[in-house]
Chains A and B, each alone.
Chain A
Amino acid sequence: MHRSPAGLATALASLNRPSDRAAREALIIEGLGDRSPAVRDLAIAWAARYVEPLKLIPLVGESADSVLRNAALIALERQGPYAVNSVEQITADPDPDLAMFACQVLGGIGGPTSEAPLLRALARPEVNVVQAAAEGLGRLRIQGATPALIALLQGEPWLQLAAADALGSIGDRRAVGPLLALVPESFVAEAALEALIRIGAPAALATLFPLLIDRGRSHLRPALLQAVAASLTEAGPPEQLRAMGKTVEQDHAAHGLWDYLSECLSGGGEVPAPTTAGDAVEGDDRSHERGGGPLVRAAGTVVLSLEVSSLLPLVVRWGATREGAAWVKRLAARVSLPTETVSARLATHPDADVRAGCLAVMPPQAIGCHRLLELLVDSELDVRLGAIKALGELADGEAARPLAEKLQSETSSERGAAIEALARLPAPVVELVLAPFLAEGVSESLLVTGLAVVATGRLNLMADRVLELAGAGSERVRRAAIRAVAHLPGSRSEVTLLRALADRDAGLQAEALDLLVSRGGDRVVTTLIALLGAGDSLRYHVIRALGRLGAERAAAPLETAFPSAPLHEQLEIVGSLAALKAKRSRPFLLQCLQHDQVEIRHAAASALVTLADPEDLELFQSLAANSDWVLRSEAARALGQLGLSEGRSTLVELVRDLEPAVARTARTALAAHR
């Protein structure tokens, strides 16, 4: 019968008497086999909530109807811990199909108690059951299964594949030797290498490196390269690594390893990452290529770890992209390159990407101030930007004047980078070069730039002038000035910021409030509490600011302001009380749980979660039974946070909630319980 999701929901909701149970179950099971995915989804949610695991399990063995079988499997997985015990028993069922599906389900929902039944299933004669048990043990990452899985590596090929994959997931280094024994000749060599990549054992290097060099093994090269790279994640003996590096340098002929690494580092052979439909619209689906995929990173690891200096430029050029810079920098720091010689060579490399990459990933001390200053006039913008940034990191006063000149550069990115860099230099030299920017009568853009340096560097310089500019006629200058004022010590700066709360520009008022909050201080709290009495649009921001300041004494005035506030401010008040974590607000928040506005009830429940302590167990157990799913979800969060054994059964119930968001929250909370 074809039914709509709404029709099924209505029919199920009408079957709510105890005597309707059998009819409801029948309807749910019928829905599990429905051809409409929407109807099936609804039936799965109801099955997870209302059908006992022992009734679902036979459906899993339903070989004639794969739709019904899969829906029952999903429902069992949805039941999570509630179903674990029953499913564990089924792993011993004489019907091999039932036992196999039970092992599969356990892989998704099982826990420590699943080890014994899965190990017993691993010893069964049926290949499909053993395979499912091995996969389940791998998904649950059960260390105790390592010896049994190693034994399976001697079994038939399908079981070898499952065992290798499971051992990779578990990551136990006891498996390294047996996995290496399968490389390179066996049917499962690639699977064994995949497992070794995930385990990442230095002990594998001596075996794997000669195989990587061997041109006859080129079909295994991608996996071998990644496995070698994974084994290099811990530094090996330097002599051994250097010897290997020399071997690579010499293996320069066609199809040699040098050639292969060079090809990988140029992006060849990389499989593009899948992109979603949305990425294709506004995201940039080239970010994977720009950052380098697993093969590029593996080749980079090998080149840097083994110090293959002729290939270094190809690694460093990946640093020219934001995505690549992160991993190259991490790697370069780990392998401690002979940086000065190398950096000098790379910073003057003819390829602009290599120069830019070098500036992004090498320590600026290794490149040196003199060379960095030369690169400020490089023909490529990315190189100039890299040099500006590196000079900031170096914080050498010699760079102050050239960087100040960059403040007036034609390109906005250079101006921005120069502000950041100059702000990191010692205050006395900055003051010298900045004075002309903050002088009387200069243009608005010079004033704003100068103030930006002071604000970015949180510098205490030219304080009188900065305070004076906070009263300038131009909104741009006033805004830049209050940002600079925020970091000046003393009461004059605080008063200036408080005055800015009454600025004629509403955006500037809100920013002044933010700056005051980041300064903190008791006087600010007092002022903001007084501002709660003001009826303008700033009050909304003041309420939130009081929450961010974390001053418990703000709780009472916030509660007092609540009754006369409009809804959007009431929501902010409840949110701020949550941020204050003031125990005194508990009765007020409990009252809010009865409020006639649903959003207030939700916000109050969320705030009570932040205040939750063991005495609240009963409160959250009662919220777990509320008809409003948001309150049930908050109850799940709180019970997870409390971690009390008395709350576990409620969470197990919530894992089967009809509302998937509640079920997922409860499942996360239960995981925290373990």
Chain B
Amino acid sequence: MIAGTEADWKLLTDLLEERFGLNFTGPRQEILEGRLRPRLDALRLDGIRAYYHFLRAHPGREEEFGELSRRITNNETYFFRETAHFEAILEHVIPELRETRGARSLRILCAACSSGEEPYSLAIRLTDAGLELTGLTWQIDACDLNPIRLDQARKATYEGFSFRACEEATRTRCFDRAADGRYQLKERYRRNVRFFHANLAAPFSGLGWPSYDVILCRNLLIYFGEVAFNRLICRFARLLSEGGYLFLGHSESLLDRGPDFEAVHLPHTMAYRRHIETI
């Protein structure tokens, strides 16, 4: 057990929430403790307060925040997770947006994409649907806080656990078997996906000011504290074009979260559409 008082833990978890938006209070403190221990050992620090001081004042604090971000982010992801969202995008969102978008490309943001399984799953579905043959081009931007995961995403090479919800036929069709036994996603599914680093909780998050038609941010907000949650939802509202859609994880909700979005009940899932009158 790492030495620390109630106050020490609160100072540190407040700092992490301020920096990354992630909430580590209550039972999640134990998870944080497990992930911090190797950092305290490496820095030869003897308690939470010393680590907090390091993050506050040490000249090497920015590197340490980077190291920390790699440890405390949740990297759980796999191909074709919660596919109802992808089907909803194809069957309901795209037909609806097609009427209002005109000729411009459809723009999609996958926030907190980890090692890329989510944006690539969507890219596979969009490519297989033959949208480009019907004149609709599209672009997926994908971002994450963890640079190591982004590197993995750019390499697009995966192992068994990433395919736990992927049919064998899809894997064979979309991936090449590499010499080391892993699977490399074929180029045609990669070319419309771009990756970039972004801290969704930071004021200058790296998101820029594009206008997206669809944002997927799934299974991230459950780890966010109240303030960071609301701030990110406001940011998504600004990033979405009028009538654009926001998809959250199945256990996440915008109920009672302000006026920017309306809930849309689709056949097998739900999404949030940005109110047109708020623009």
A interface residues, Cβ below 8 angstroms from B: 2, 5, 35-36, 38, 276-283, 510, 514, 540-541, 544, 566-568, 571-572, 575, 599, 602-603, 606, 629-630, 633-634, 637, 661-662, 664-665, 668
Q: Is B76 an interface residue (CB 8 A)?
A: yes
Q: Which residue of B10, B30, B58, B226 is within 8 Å of A661 (Cβ)? A: B10
Q: Which residues of B contact A603 (CB under 8 A)?
A: 49, 53
**A541 B44 Cβ-Cβ under 8 A:** yes
Bound complex: CA A660 to CA B180 (Å): 53
**B7 A665 Cβ-Cβ under 8 A:** yes
Bound complex: CA A514 to CA B44 (Å): 9
**B53 A278 Cβ-Cβ under 8 A:** no
Bound complex: CA A665 to CA B226 (Å): 24
**B76 A665 Cβ-Cβ under 8 A:** no
Q: Is B31 an interface residue (CB 8 A)?
A: yes
Give the one of B5, B49, B76 with max A CB within 10 A: B5
**B35 A633 Cβ-Cβ under 8 A:** no
Q: Which residues of A contact B35 (CB under 8 A)?
A: 282
**A633 B56 Cβ-Cβ under 8 A:** no
Top 7 nearest A-B pairs (CB, nearest first) are: A278-B31, A568-B57, A633-B7, A661-B10, A567-B57, A568-B58, A661-B6
Q: Is B28 an interface residue (CB 8 A)?
A: yes
Q: Which residue of A568, A630, A633, A662 is within 8 Å of B59 (Cβ)? A: A568
30 A-B pairs within 8 Å (CB atoms) are namely A36-B256, A38-B226, A276-B27, A278-B30, A278-B31, A278-B74, A279-B31, A280-B76, A282-B31, A540-B58, A541-B44, A566-B57, A568-B53, A568-B54, A568-B57, A568-B58, A571-B53, A572-B53, A575-B49, A575-B50, A599-B57, A603-B53, A629-B7, A630-B7, A633-B6, A634-B7, A637-B5, A664-B6, A665-B5, A665-B6
Q: Is B34 an interface residue (CB 8 A)?
A: yes
Q: Is B84 an interface residue (CB 8 A)?
A: no
Given A541-B44, A568-B54, A599-B53: A283 and B34 within 8 A (CB)? Answer: yes
**A661 B7 Cβ-Cβ under 8 A:** yes
Q: Which residues of B contact A629 (CB under 8 A)?
A: 7
Which residue from chain A places its CB closest to the CB of B26 in the assembled complex?
Answer: A276
Bound complex: CA A633 to CA B4 (Å): 13
Bound complex: CA A63 to CA B49 (Å): 45
Q: Which residues of B contact A541 (CB under 8 A)?
A: 44
**A630 B34 Cβ-Cβ under 8 A:** no
B interface residues, Cβ below 8 angstroms from A: 5-7, 9-11, 27-28, 30-31, 34-35, 44, 49-50, 53-54, 56-59, 74-76, 222, 226, 256
B222 to chain A, nearest CB (A): 7
Given contacts A278-B31, A541-B44, A568-B58, 6 further A-B contacts (CB under 8 A): A510-B44, A575-B50, A599-B57, A629-B7, A661-B9, A665-B6
The SS class assigned to the A binding surface is helix
Q: Which residues of A contact B34 (CB under 8 A)?
A: 282-283
Bound complex: CA A540 to CA B222 (Å): 38
**B5 A633 Cβ-Cβ under 8 A:** yes
Bound complex: CA A634 to CA B8 (Å): 10
The SS class assigned to the B binding surface is helix
Q: Which residues of A contact B76 (CB under 8 A)?
A: 280-281
Which residue from chain A places its CB closest to the CB of B71 in the assembled complex?
Answer: A282
B10 to chain A, nearest CB (A): 4
A280 to chain B, nearest CB (A): 8
Q: Which residues of B contact A280 (CB under 8 A)?
A: 76
Bound complex: CA A283 to CA B76 (Å): 12
Bound complex: CA A626 to CA B259 (Å): 38
Give the one of A276, A283, A510, A568 with max B CB within 10 A: A568
Which residue from chain A places its CB closest to the CB of B56 in the assembled complex?
Answer: A599
Bound complex: CA A277 to CA B7 (Å): 25
Which residue from chain B places its CB closest to the CB of A39 in the assembled complex?
Answer: B256
A516 to chain B, nearest CB (A): 13
**B74 A281 Cβ-Cβ under 8 A:** yes
Which residue from chain B places its CB closest to the CB of A665 in the assembled complex?
Answer: B6
Which residue from chain A places its CB closest to the CB of B45 in the assembled complex?
Answer: A544
Bound complex: CA A333 to CA B191 (Å): 64
Q: Which residues of A contact B226 (CB under 8 A)?
A: 5, 38
Bound complex: CA A571 to CA B11 (Å): 15
Bound complex: CA A158 to CA B75 (Å): 48
Bound complex: CA A277 to CA B23 (Å): 13
Bound complex: CA A281 to CA B57 (Å): 31
Bound complex: CA A630 to CA B28 (Å): 22
Q: Which residues of A contact B222 (CB under 8 A)?
A: 277
Given A510-B44, A541-B44, A575-B50: A630 and B11 within 8 A (CB)? Answer: yes
Bound complex: CA A5 to CA B5 (Å): 27
Bound complex: CA A36 to CA B57 (Å): 37
Q: Which residues of A contact B58 (CB under 8 A)?
A: 540, 568
Bound complex: CA A664 to CA B54 (Å): 25
Which residue from chain B places its CB closest to the CB of A567 in the assembled complex?
Answer: B57
**B44 A283 Cβ-Cβ under 8 A:** no
Bound complex: CA A544 to CA B44 (Å): 10
Which residue from chain B places its CB closest to the CB of A277 in the assembled complex?
Answer: B222
Q: Which residues of B contact A571 (CB under 8 A)?
A: 53, 56-57
Q: Which residues of B contact A36 (CB under 8 A)?
A: 256
**B31 A283 Cβ-Cβ under 8 A:** yes
Q: Which residues of A contact B53 (CB under 8 A)?
A: 568, 571-572, 575, 599, 603
Bound complex: CA A279 to CA B10 (Å): 22
Q: Which residues of B contact A634 (CB under 8 A)?
A: 7
A547 to chain B, nearest CB (A): 10
B20 to chain A, nearest CB (A): 15
Q: Which residues of A contact B31 (CB under 8 A)?
A: 276, 278-279, 282-283
Bound complex: CA A575 to CA B58 (Å): 14
A309 to chain B, nearest CB (A): 39
Q: Which residues of B contact A278 (CB under 8 A)?
A: 27-28, 30-31, 74
Bound complex: CA A36 to CA B258 (Å): 12
Which residue from chain A places its CB closest to the CB of B47 in the assembled complex?
Answer: A575
Q: Which residues of A contact B57 (CB under 8 A)?
A: 566-568, 571, 599
Which residue from chain B places its CB closest to the CB of A629 in the assembled complex?
Answer: B7
Bound complex: CA A335 to CA B222 (Å): 48
Q: Which residues of A contact B28 (CB under 8 A)?
A: 276, 278
Which residue from chain A places its CB closest to the CB of B27 in the assembled complex?
Answer: A276
